[in-house]
Structure 1
Amino acid sequence: MNFLKRLFGIENTGEVTDENGNEIGKFMPKPETPVDEEFMHNFKKNGGKFLYCENENELRLNFSEILKENEWDHSEVYCSNESIRQDFKHTHLTFNKNLNACFFLSNCEFLISNTGAILVSSSQLGDKKLSDLPLNFIVIAKTSQLIKTIGEGLQKINKRHDRNLPTNITTIKTFDENKDSDFMNYGSTPKNLYLLLLEDL
């Protein structure tokens, strides 16, 4: 059908096609965007900075580039995760839990594709509110942490922790101080956030 339309010069009247150009009926649902693409689109739209890392070496290299770019090479870092501290102990950073530190370094629970938000809990924040923590964030996540909705994330947290659920579960979804506030991000604390996404699938 597409070939005949092109041959006779019939204009496209709003037909929907897949990525191969095959016509899809107008009443068929549009193909769903993969969660990784959807997350990247929404995360960048929210003002986040994203760096994809194929392996651990690339992650360390990208981390070093962030430090250089922002002149954070010899800074104090708020980091409560011992594993992350060990991964970056070769740097000149000073790791502590000082709220006046230059930046907050952490992992996360999940990456929510339909909003471009990062789901965190007391496992990362302790008993601190987002507003208590430094303005600058570097978050390390894995591609296996990409999920569609916050509801799915809460179910997975519930399963993983059984009866010892973490508290302080929240999302970080505003990454640009100058972004116009609307109903969806009202009350959220903007963070200058870098996401290092490590491929693990």
Structure 2
Amino acid sequence: MANSTAKENILNKIKQALDHPVPLPFVLDEPDASLYEIAVEELEIIFAENFAKLQGKFIFCADEKELHLQLHHLISSREWMKIYCNENQWNALYSNTINLESCDASITGCECLVARTGTIVMSAAQQSGRTVSVYAPIHICIAYTSQLVYDIKDALQVVKEKHSTIPSLITFASGPSRTADIEKTLVTGVHGPKEVYLFLVDTTTVNP
């Protein structure tokens, strides 16, 4: 009898809840409404802050000249002897090895940058292909301010419009590889690069 009474009480509560539903915390007739706050700062600033939070290393360059000075300084100061690059735009300037497996660092471009999450978006349609950004112990990405978008859906739209077909692989890289699977201790570089550098070039005077 007690079990029957408890069941009836539960059913009555469910019925009452259905008769008087709690208002939903969002408007149903706005399917295109953003789930996130609209950007109030420049995308460069938002991206840099979020990228740094994820242990990414951000370098802003006023133009191409500063890009090359900063990048040469980084390579020299870290004493990287083997740089792998498969991008025509920078291959002749930086690449000095054809062995990705034994390189010190790799250089790639990207499809775009997602400011809200501090994410580098790459795809298999790029010259670097699938492996360059994840195989090398250090990943250096060169991007331009014109490639900044606010949210992931904007990035997907950029990739879709840029290529005649959706690339077979789209990669979202937010800082260096990391995992906490082992004793809940955060370890970087387990499934990819230990360090990720993002050189962002201002495009007010330069076209990517």
TM-score of the superposed pair, with normalisation by structure 2:
0.68
Secondary structure of the equivalent of 1:152? helix
Query: CA 1:168/1:31 → structure 2, altered by over 3 Å: closer, same or farther?
Result: closer
Structure 1 33/103 Cα, relative in aligned 2: closer, same or farther at 3 Å? same
* Mean Cα deviation higher: 95-104 or 141-150: 95-104
Residue of structure 2 in register with 1:76 after alignment? 82
CA 190–104 in structure 1, closer or farther in 2 if over 3 Å, else same: closer
Q: Distance in 2 between matches of 1:121 and 1:31?
A: 25
Q: Percent identity?
A: 28
* Cα-Cα RMSD: 2.8
Alignment of 1:124-143 (within 5 A): 124-128=127-131, 131=134, 133-143=135-145
Q: Distance between the aligned counterparts of 2:99 and 2:114, measured in 1?
A: 27
Tell me the amino acid that sits aligned with residue 173 of structure 2: I
How many residues are aligned here?
162
Post-superposition Cα deviations, 1:42-72, rounded to whole Å, max 9, x if no partner, equal: 0011111111111111111101111122111
Write out aligned runs for 1:160-199 (5 A).
160-163=162-165, 165-175=166-176, 189-199=192-202
The answer to which of 107-116 and 96-105 deviates more is 96-105
Q: Which amino acid aligns with 2:54?
A: N
SS at match of 1:47: coil
Change (3 A) 1:124 1:48: farther
Query: Quick check: 1:77–1:101 contact (8 Å CA) kept in 2?
Result: yes
Match among 34, 48, 57 for residue 65 of structure 2: 57
Contact 2:108 2:141 in 1 (8 A): yes
Gaps of 5+ in 2: 1-36
* Matched AA of 1:126: G
Q: Do structure 1's residue 85 and structure 2's residue 91 form an aligned pair? A: yes
Change (3 A) 1:197 1:142: same
Whether contact under 8 Å (2:85, 2:128) holds in the other structure is: no
The answer to whether residue 206 in structure 2 is matched with residue 200 in structure 1 is: no
Write the letter of the residue equivalent to 1:200.
Answer: T
Q: TM-score, normalised by structure 1?
A: 0.70
> Do the aligned partners of 1:135 and 1:190 also contact (CA within 8 Å) in 2?
yes
The one-letter amino acid of 1:194's match is Y
Q: Within 2, Cα distance between the matches of 1:152 and 1:30? A: 13
Q: Runs ≥4 in structure 1, deviation > 6 angstroms? A: none
The answer as to whether partners of 1:79 and 1:97 remain within 8 angstroms in 2 is no
SS of equivalent to 1:83: helix
Contact preservation (8 Å) 1:47, 1:176: no
Q: Which blocks of at least 5 consecutive residues in structure 1 are unaligned?
A: 1-28
CA distance 1:124–1:47, change in 2 (3 Å):
farther
Using the alignment, how far apart are the partners of 2:38 and 2:89 within structure 1?
A: 42
CA contact (8 A) 1:79 1:106 kept: yes
Q: Does the C-alpha gap of structure 1 residues 198 and 101 become closer, same or farther in structure 2, counting only changes over 3 Å?
A: same
- CA distance in 2 between counterparts of 1:174 and 1:56 reads 23
| Distance (Å, rounded) in 1 between the aligned partners of 2:60 and 2:133 | 25
Shift of residue 30, structure 1, vs aligned partner: 8.5
* Aligned-partner Cα distance in 2 for 1:129–1:79: 8
Measured against aligned partners, the alpha-carbon deviations of 1:15-63 in whole angstroms (never above 9, x if no partner) come to xxxxxxxxxxxxxx89723321110100011111111111111111101
Other-structure match for 2:49? 41
User: Distance between the aligned counterparts of 1:168 and 1:157, measured in 2?
Assistant: 11
Whole-Å separation in 2 of the counterparts to 1:55 and 1:130:
24
